[in-house]
Structure 1
Amino acid sequence: MTTIEGTFTGASNLRIAIVIARFNDLITNKILSGCLDCLSRHGIDTSQTSPQLDIAWVPGSFELPLVSQALARKGKYDVVITLGAVIRGDTPHFDVVVSEASKGIANVSRETGVPIIFGVLTTDTMQQALERAGIKNNLGWSYALQALEMGSLMKAIS
């Protein structure tokens, strides 16, 4: 029996793209910070001149799938991380954005064969979003770990 697993070490050969939403940037910047910290601690060059990492900013979470798709199709990246924050309001807008972002991101991953990490916080309140972006736990760190594992797993499979 062969067991194939991704790892969190030896990630220095991965090329990673991060697509991040500007909307709710109080939250998304904190998630990005946690994500970059994790990547850096696992051997990814996160400097401004990094040959391993590119960051693309989009207006909101609804736009994450399109830019993720464009980056994944380039064949330059082993994994793409999407970061966003959608906070429930008084209208059904929340449901539309979350639904389309999640379906779109999943479709891009299946269509391109590039792992796309779904790092979109979906919360009922700003307080919940803040808690997930660093007050209690920064989920950006978890999204980065998922990227490292999936990127290395896909390399192990190919």
Structure 2
Amino acid sequence: MSLSVPRGLLRPRDVIDHIHDITPDFLAERGLRGLLLDLDNTLIPYGSYEERADVMRWAADLRRADTRLYLLSNATGKRARFWVDKLGFEGVGMAGKPNPRAFHRALASLDLPARQVGMVGDQLFTDVLGGNLAGMYTVLVRPLAVNALPHTRAARKLERAVLKRYGHDWRP
């Protein structure tokens, strides 16, 4: 099976195990001043409404270091609003990733150029593809939970095949 998307657009700049690997030093080394963050399976396990004190502290630490944060999620608007209120920074649900328009709107909200913003997410075909199309620095994070949605399971199989071509043995 051949993908019509050029391979480079599916290649993340960094592959990490957890968002806690992103520190002010990590960002400074890459020239990043802001982050667009996916919600489900990146910051919070899919479908969970349980507060994560570690994620709240991580986000607060980045904001204290003058990192601009924005939640860019395909989750429902209601779910995204719940987490935006908890996390204390702006964002939207039903973003329509990987459509670059969603990324450009988020970049405008951060008031930063794409080259200074990282897109952090757990999916190649939404987060990495959209971030790369928008000219951002892309970071793929290992999913926090196994998602039982059929389309996500199918996407995970394709992701593993793509990442294997880039030398990553990726198992959620």
Q: TM-score, normalized by length of structure 1?
A: 0.38
Structure possessing the higher relative contact order (Cα contacts under 8 Å, 6 or more residues apart): 1
TM-score, length-normalised on structure 2? Answer: 0.35
Higher strand share: 1
More helix by share: 1
